[in-house]
Amino acid sequence: MTVTRRLRRNRAMGSQRRLCYRGPVIQGASQVVTDRSIVVAGAGAIGCFVGGQLAAADRRVALLVRPRVKTEIERFGLRLTDFDGSEQKLGAGQLALSDDPAIFHSAGIVLVTVKSADTADVADQIAQHAPQDAVIVSLQNGVGNVAALHQRLGGRRVLAGMVPFNVIAMGEGRFHRSTSGDIHVGEDADNTAAALSAPGLAVRASRDITGVQWGKLIINLNNALSALSDMPLAAQLANRDWRKLFADQMAEGLATLKAAGITPASATPIPPNWMPTMLRLPDMIFSAILGRTMKIDPEARSSMWQDLKQGRRTEIDYLQGAVIALAEQNNVDVPLMRRIVALIRDAETAAAGPPGLTPQQIRGG
């Protein structure tokens, strides 16, 4: 039975009962978290991978997807592959699929994975359809989405999260995780992070999720460079000229955060303030350090590269744009970052995909 038919049946019967949680009991997680569906709002690459891993671990999962993605998964199923060679295959019947926001009706947890520009719209859908006690978790890029969700959702419980890894939509229902890292979610009394953790998908509770988000944003400044270069991440990071460019941009970001009194936290063993120095190291030394702290698939690409490739508007306003706004408030000059934003805007307007620029062209030399 489809999710839409099930919802219609429940409404016709006047039933307000909770849908039973199918997986194992999560120690330390509240009953509200564990006895209803985990609904992924806006399941693109990240959402399909995260939702699929949870469904593979026997969690009750529903995906709010675009019609194209719904058709793709119904036809091919969901295939999750990883940089370490592991693979999960799920049939379309192992999780609920819908393009109707009424799917939020059964939610105990809502994972928001839409692009930042779509946050307000999905928040309105959640407000209309989700139970009042559902936990809302933002797994989005940037640092402003939780505030946007709070603004639209009033007193509902909203938690910030951070996804460190990249996922590539490969087509025919395949979603490939191309870099390593564990998801971080803000610590709460109901231990929501534990309820979301599953084999192949470690989720950690963080007491300083704001610092973690800023730390991830500083790393995500490379998304634009990856998009402009039209190179895989591993190849780009293997090139010292590209790393120096990334280091200079990161130094602007760190100077801005320092002026604003913000301390970024790292989800890796390397503190953010060390990163510019590390990036400028010779190739052999940098490669040895990177190999101990992060795994990158040879074909890994940034989400911004994928946006340009598919002619979509990027999230540059929520990454570099957020730092530039903070820099203006604190009288910090960030000329390199401003130039990178202008180049991404040019690429968006041209709609010809990633432009394949060199570091020298990006610097304006």
Domain ranges for the chain, please list them. Answer: 3-207, 213-363
Tokens of 44: 């693109």
pLDDT digits (tens, 9 = 90+) for 106-145: 999 999 999 999 999 999 999 999 999 999 999 999 999 9
* Burial class (CB within 10 angstroms; exposed 0-12, middle 13-18, buried 19+) of 321: middle
Helices (H) and strands (E) in the chain, counts: 17, 12
pLDDT, average across residues 181-204: 95
Average pLDDT over residues 173-192: 95
Cα–Cα distance, 262 to 250 (Å, whole number): 15
Calculate Rg over the CA atoms of the chain: 20
Same fold flag, 3-207 and 213-363: no
For residue 326, pLDDT over 60 is answered with yes
- CATH for 3-207 (3.40.50.720, 3.30.1330.10, 1.10.238.10, 3.20.20.70): 3.40.50.720
User: What architecture is the 213-363 domain classified under in CATH?
Assistant: Orthogonal Bundle (1.10)
pLDDT, position 34:
53
> If pLDDT is split at 50, 70 and 90, which confidence band does 163 have?
very high
Query: Stretch 13-37: mean pLDDT, rounded?
Result: 44
Q: Is the pLDDT of residue 257 over 60?
A: yes
The answer to whether 318 and 144 are in contact (CB under 8 A) is: yes
Torsion of CA 305, 306, 309, 311, to 10 degrees: -110
Tally of CB atoms within 10 A around 339: 14
How does strand 107-112 pair with strand 37-41?
A: parallel
pLDDT for the residue numbered 268: 75
Residue type, position 115, single letter? K
Residue 95 above 70 pLDDT?
yes
Q: Which residue has the tokens 């604003």?
A: 260
